Amino acid sequence: MRNAGLAVAFGAALMSACGGQDMPAKQLAESEAAIRAAEERNARAVPRAALHLTLAKEQMENAQKLIKRNEYERAHNLLARAQADAELALALAQSDDASRKAAQAVDKIEKLKQSTPNTSNTQTTPAPN
């Protein structure tokens, strides 16, 4: 009888460790939002960002298949990876955009320097006292 009680306790512990996780609805929504944000920031146009966006979408699809099979723990892990890849894609797209804008600003400064006469060599007459 004592062994039967131990077996039940062990089985319950094993079930809670392996299959006791709820459907990862919050993680699913957060991953979808991260993918949408990366797409809205045009991550597809930046090669490194596009790679991570593609990975995020693939992981999302695989996680949805796992959810249909009630494999919530594995789905949760894939969704966390999908969210991380989507957030990385967004950051890479933002970084590329900032670099492009900085380069444009430097170009404008250089053009302004070239079009402005050099006044550093001209002498100014001191004002009378």
Does residue 18 fall inside a structural domain? Answer: no
What is the pLDDT, as a whole number, of residue 21?
Answer: 80
* Gyration radius of the chain's alpha carbons: 29
**Helix spans in the chain (H):** 2-19, 25-40, 47-68, 72-115
Q: Which of 127, 49, 125, 56 shows the shortest CA–CA distance to 93?
A: 49
Phi/psi region, residue 70 (left: phi>0; alpha: psi -120 to 50; beta: rest), is left
Neighbours of 17 (CB within 10 A): 10
Whether the pLDDT of residue 118 is over 90: the answer is: no
User: In angstroms, how far is the first alpha carbon of the chain from the final one?
Assistant: 112
Domain that residue 71 falls in = 25-108
Does residue 114 fall inside a structural domain? Answer: no
93 CA to centre of own chain: 9
Does residue 120 fall inside a structural domain? Answer: no
Does residue 78 fall inside a structural domain? Answer: yes
What is the pLDDT, as a whole number, of residue 128?
Answer: 67
Does residue 58 fall inside a structural domain? Answer: yes
Does residue 50 fall inside a structural domain? Answer: yes
Does residue 89 fall inside a structural domain? Answer: yes
* pLDDT tens, position by position, 21-66: 899 999 999 999 999 999 999 999 999 999 999 999 999 999 999 9
- Sign of the dihedral through C-alpha 13, 17, 20, 22: positive
Instruction: Report the domain count for the chain.
Output: 1
Does residue 60 fall inside a structural domain? Answer: yes
For residue 86 the two structure tokens come to 């989507």
The share of the chain scoring above pLDDT 70, in percent, equals 75
Three-class SS state of 128: coil
Tell me, yes or no, if the pTM score tops 0.85: no
* pLDDT tens, position by position, 90-104: 999 999 989 898 988
